[in-house]
Amino acid sequence: MIVYIIRRLMQAALVMVVMSVLVFAGIYLIGDPVLMMISPDASELEREAVRKALHLDLPMWQQYLLFVNDALHGNFGKSFLAGQPAMGLIFERFPATLELAFASLVLSLAIGLPLGVYAGLRPHTAGSKTIMTGSILGFSLPNFWVGLMLIMVFAVLLPDLVPGWPRLPASGRGATVDVLGVKLSFLTGDGLLHLLLPAVTLSLYKGALIVRLARATAREVLPMDYVKFARAKGLSERRIVGVHVLKNIMIPIATVSGLEFGQTVAFAVVTETIFSWPGVGKLLIDSILLLDRPVVVAYLVIIVFFFVALNLVVDLLYSVLDPRVRLESRAT
Amino acid sequence: MTTLSVRNLRTHFFTKEGVAKAVDGVDFDVAPGEILGLVGESGSGKTVTGFSILGLIDPPGRIVEGSSIRFNGEELTAARPERLRAIRGSEIAMIFQDPMMTLNPVLRVDTQMIETVQAHLKVSEADARDRARKALVQVGIPSPDERLRAYPHQFSGGMRQRVAIAIALLHKPKLIVADEPTTALDVTIQGQILFEVQRLCRESGTAMIWVTHDLAVVAGLADRIAVMYAGRIVETGRTADVIERPMHPYTKGLIGSVPSQNTRGHKLAQIPGMTPSLLRLPRGCAFKARCPIAIDQCNEMPALEEHRPGHWARCWRATG
């Protein structure tokens, strides 16, 4: 087990090296950050001074080695623009994104799993046909449109038209609580309300995916002999579905949830922008536009590390859910 | 007093293509401690008969009105689902064909045994575990405590079938329906399991229905045999009578196709053709198309008649 984890971490390190080279070279090729930072009528002398200060006058490979040297000492450089350490900038915003991603994952599981299992148990009822049709809408409607529509309906139209209808907030995190220096919204009522619309927006696609996956797996598991044997043992239907069927369904669900969670954390940009959610996705987009290389590189390093950790958690979860999986014997 | 009395059992599957009469008018009795061998090829309705007794027929199949399954005097076809659940696993147990598939791969053996105990008895988990341990010892599984904590994939096929049998025995059922439980096992294990099951039934007075396509297996195991073909019993009687003096041409064909001392050096006999589709059964005797001695009268369905004392056959040409 420990060997397995160490091997995974070494793979992660390799991925990080490859990724950092790619990102470094990519941004180097795109353009000169100094042009973005300095007013157009600054003199060539001033530009040269800034270039020197940021080591942008060196050849690319030297810049890269400088960066690696600093990174190995835990320093990912300062944002060209904000002048603050890039890592600090990201970590300030990371909890907001994590919180949003986690809320949407919980929401999609809480809704998707029961609906999917129901549709799998009773595939021919009108209810499950409605669920399945709804799930198609769920993953074909574009995120930004859903977000805008939710704002239209719940933050504008309904409160305007129906007297007394609560107006849901559609912008920002609302009130937050400091827990060990991390700002959290979901611990306050106001924060929860602010979380609601963006979380629903993000959970729609995930929930639809989980519905379909849960249904398909339930349909696969139900005709199995061990389900019939469980009936022959005289178990209650609740126990059969809740333990024998559900535990088998959870295996693919765990995989997809892990992947989806990572996706959301890394790429919730659109939703964060629509709801002005002060998350890390918005920071990334701004930094890419302004060629703020330290922030982009630091962000991607964190995301790679995050994905590796997430996959490790999913693999560990696998071995809990499915005893036939043995971590040591797998080389991936 | 019989343990189980089945009368005019008809289990039909109502599909888009038509009604498949998987079981169509089956009668038999099983006495306490008796082993009945229910023999037939695939599609003969033998497995569906077994599942019907436990009330485990999934839609689009159902037991048709007019069928009667009396278990210790209680009519099971009229029983409520909750009552059937209470009977299943405690008074009537079932052993399945493929031991690789009957145990849930993601649950430990102890979980699967303890839940069976607790489904029918209000006992603590420790007591339930103790019962499970004893049941494993009973079927000859060494170091049961260690085995209880294992997962099904850590067992061999024979061991898994022993676990499944132990689960069936947990509540000392009055009737066990065994659906080809040795088919998926290799021959030496098969022999051990057969011996074990026979001993356990004799000791506890448990009645048993042994569903199989393998005449050789039931010949040494069952007290009586019922041969099924296309949803009906075509011949039934004491094992020795049916094996040594079969009356129905289908039974004769089955016995002729089993290799034995006498068939050495000769070509094995076989029954020509295939089981007819249950959706389009011919009028009259379902076997007539494959029957070497069919006559015009076979277009009428013959009745199951007692041609010799205790030996019944459904054939116009059966002789006493």
Which of A233, A236, A250, A326 to probe by mutation at the B interface, max B CB count within 10 Å? A233
- With a cut of 80, say whether residue A270 has pLDDT above it: yes
User: B136 with B237, same domain?
Assistant: no
B287 and B155, same structural domain?
Answer: no
Does residue B142 sit in the same domain as residue B51? no
Distance CA A187, CA B108 (A): 39
d(CA A291, CA A278): 20
Comparing A125 with A4, which gets the higher pLDDT?
A: A125
Chain B residue numbers with beta carbons less than 8 Å from the beta carbon of A233 are: 88-89, 93, 115-116, 119, 167
- For B117, the closest chain A residue by CA position comes to A233
C-alpha to C-alpha distances, B278 to B17, B20, B25, B232, nearest whole angstrom: 11, 5, 14, 11
**Average pLDDT value for residue range B257-285:** 76
| Minimal C-alpha gap between B22 and chain A (Å) | 19
Residue B74 backbone class (left: φ over 0; alpha: ψ -120 to 50; beta: rest)? beta
Interface touch A232/B120, C-beta < 8 Å: no
Q: Note whether residue B292 is domain-resident.
A: yes
Interface confidence, given as ipTM, is 0.86
Name the B residues in 223-262 with CB < 8 Å from any A CB.
none
B263 has a pLDDT exceeding 70: no
Within-domain flag for B318: no
B94 bridge partner residues: B177
* Interface test with chain A among B96, B104, B131, by most A beta carbons within 10 Å: B104
Query: Which DSSP state fits A154?
Result: I
Across the interface, whether the CB atoms of B56 and A251 are under 8 A apart is answered no
Name the residue among A225, A231, A247 with its Cβ closest to that of B107: A247
Total domains present in chain B: 2
pLDDT attached to residue A328: 54
Phi, psi of B30 (to 5 degrees): -130, 130
Among A253, A260, A246, A251, residue whose Cα is nearest residue A310: A260
Asked if residue B320 is part of any domain, the answer here is: no
pLDDT attached to residue A181: 67
Task: Give a yes or no: residue B145 inside a domain.
Answer: yes
> How close B158 comes to chain A (CA, Å)?
17
Cα B214-B219-B223 angle, rounded to 5 deg? 120
For helices B157-169 and B187-204, give the axis angle rounded to 10 degrees.
Answer: 10
In this structure, the answer to whether residues B30 and B118 fall within a common structural domain is no
CA distance A242 to chain B (A): 13
- Whether residue B77 is predicted with pLDDT greater than 50 in this model: the reply is yes
**Would the pLDDT of A331 be above 50?**
no
In a domain, residue B97? The reply is: no
**Residue B216: inside a domain:** yes
Question: What is the C-alpha separation between A198 and A150, in angstroms, rounded?
Answer: 9
| A241/A246 Cα distance (integer angstroms) | 6
- Tell me the shortest Cα–Cα distance from A247 to chain B, in angstroms: 7
Tens digit of pLDDT for each residue in A214-232?
A: 999 999 999 888 999 999 9
Matching residue, tokens 């099951």: B197
Q: Does B90 touch chain A (CB under 8 A)?
A: yes
The answer to whether B285 and B291 are in contact (CB under 8 A) is: yes
Task: Out of A226, A234, A251, name the one closest to residue B104 (CB).
Answer: A226
B206 and B274 both lie in a single domain:
yes
Domain ranges of chain A: 86-329
Same domain, B54 and B151: no
Same domain assignment for residues B55 and B113: no
| Count of other CB atoms within 10 angstroms of residue A330 | 11
* DSSP-based three-state secondary structure for B69: strand
Do the chains contact at A232 and B54, CB–CB below 8 Å?
yes
Closest partner CB to B94 (pick from A232, A236, A244): A232
The C-alpha atoms of residue B152 and residue B159 are separated, in whole angstroms, by 9
pLDDT attached to residue A110? 94
- Across the interface, whether the CB atoms of B88 and A251 are under 8 A apart is answered no
Instruction: Tell me: do B187 and B277 sit in the same domain.
Output: yes
CA–CA min distance B238, chain A (Å):
29
Cis omega (within 30 of 0) for bond into B152? no
Cβ–Cβ gap B119/A236 under 8 Å: yes
Partners of residue B55 in chain A, C-beta under 8 Å: none
**What average pLDDT score do residues A172-185 get?**
73
Is any Cβ of chain A less than 8 angstroms from the Cβ of B153? yes
Q: Is B79 on the interface with A (CB under 8 A)?
A: no
pLDDT above 90: residue B308: no
Give the distance from residue A292's alpha carbon to the nearest chain B alpha carbon, in angstroms: 49
A151 burial class (0-12, 13-18, 19+ CB within 10 angstroms)? buried
Angle between helices A293-321 and A86-121 (to 10 degrees): 40
CA end-to-end span of chain A, whole Å? Answer: 14
CA gyration radius, chain B: 20
- Whether the pLDDT of residue A213 is over 90: the answer is yes
- Say if B96 falls within a structural domain: no
CB crowding A259-289: b at 16 or more within 10 Å, else e: bbbbebbbebbbbbebbebbbbbbbbeebbe
* Residue of chain B whose alpha carbon sits nearest to that of A226: B102
Architecture of domain A86-329: Orthogonal Bundle (1.10)
**Predicted pLDDT of residue A330:** 45
Q: Which domain holds residue B120?
A: 103-170
Is pLDDT at B177 greater than 50 in this prediction? yes
Same domain, B202 and B291: yes
**Of residues A191 and A181, more confidently modeled:** A191
CB < 8 Å to A225, chain B: 96-98, 101-102
* A-chain residues near B87 (CB < 8 A): 234
Kindly report, residue by residue over B201-230, the tens digit of the pLDDT: 888 888 999 998 888 888 888 899 999 998
Which residues have CB under 8 Å from A243's CB, separation 6+? B107, B115
Residue B98 falls inside a structural domain: no
A184 phi and psi angles, rounded to 5 deg: -125, 135
Q: Which CA distances in Å does B80 have to B5, B28, B55, B87, B314?
A: 19, 23, 10, 11, 34
B134 and B42 belong to one structural domain: no
pLDDT (tens digit per residue) in B110-153: 999 999 999 998 999 899 999 999 888 888 888 888 899 889 98
Q: Are residues B197 and B55 in the same domain?
A: yes
Residues B37 and B151 in one domain: no
| Amino acid, res. A20 | S
The H or E element spanning position B94 is: strand B92-95
